[in-house]
């Protein structure tokens, strides 16, 4: 293994440890009153721009339709989304955020946008450099694996049918 590979592996391990140490899963669950795992966060955040059909949600989240239905059912039970008739095809339903769903997205965004207190250990110049480096890494992500959704959703291995 080359030195560059070792450096990349070491840097990645440190970034991963830092992000995991600073995760906000528990704070999000306390703030929202439920966990965002099991795909619920991705679906909830995916609806922030516009309503989507179940098929569109399934495709956007790379899951099958029955699993998407379970996720939407759970979000609906929490009062965060509702199904409405599609304006062009009454056989299909649009899933849309409710006022409570929009409020939950806003609260989650506020929790996730707050930098960890440990970042105060870095100077302004160091934070600028870190921002530049992370921006370069994101720009290199040609596969699109890192998206805003991935940074705002912290999935856990819980079952979307679990009542929490």
Residue among 100, 104, 87, 91 at smallest CA distance from 51: 87
For residue 100, the cross-strand partners are none
Cα 13 to Cα 17, 20, 120, distances in angstroms = 6, 11, 21
Quote the pLDDT of residue 130.
95
CA–CA dist 159, 41 (Å, integer):
13
DSSP string for 75-108: HHHTTSEEEEE-SS-TTSEEEEE-HHHHHHHHHH
Residue among 162, 164, 161, 163 at smallest CA distance from 66: 161
**Is residue 35 within a helix (H) or strand (E), and if so which, with residue range?**
none
- CA–chain centroid gap for 141, Å, is 17
Q: Could you read off the pLDDT of 26-38 as tens digits, one per residue?
A: 898 898 888 888 8
Q: Could you read off the pLDDT of 62-109 as tens digits, one per residue?
A: 999 999 999 999 999 999 999 999 999 888 899 999 999 999 999 999
Q: Could you read off the pLDDT of 20-74 as tens digits, one per residue?
A: 999 888 898 898 888 888 889 999 999 999 999 999 999 999 999 999 999 999 9
Say yes or no to pLDDT of 148 above 90.
Answer: no
Q: For residues 64 and 49, is the Cβ–Cβ distance under 8 A?
A: no
Which pTM was predicted? 0.72
Say yes or no to pLDDT of 122 above 50.
Answer: yes
SS3 label, residue 52: strand
């Amino acid at each position: 293994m080359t030195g560059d590979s070792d450096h990349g592996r070491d840097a990645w391990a440190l970034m991963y440890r830092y992000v995991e140490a600073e995760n906000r899963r528990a704070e999000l669950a306390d703030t929202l009153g439920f966990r965002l795992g099991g795909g619920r966060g991705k679906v909830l955040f995916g609806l922030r721009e516009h309503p989507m059909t179940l098929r569109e949600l399934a495709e956007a989240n790379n899951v099958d339709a029955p699993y998407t239905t379970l996720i939407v059912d759970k979000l609906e039970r929490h009062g965060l989304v509702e199904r409405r008739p599609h304006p062009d095809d009454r056989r299909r339903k649009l899933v849309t955020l409710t006022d409570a769903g929009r409020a939950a997205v806003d609260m989650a965004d506020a929790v996730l946008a707050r930098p960890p207190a440990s970042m105060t250990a870095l100077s302004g110049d160091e934070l600028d450099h870190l921002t530049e480096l992370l921006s370069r890494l994101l720009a290199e992500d040609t596969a699109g694996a890192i998206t805003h959704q991935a940074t705002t959703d912290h999935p856990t291995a819980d079952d979307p049918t679990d009542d929490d």
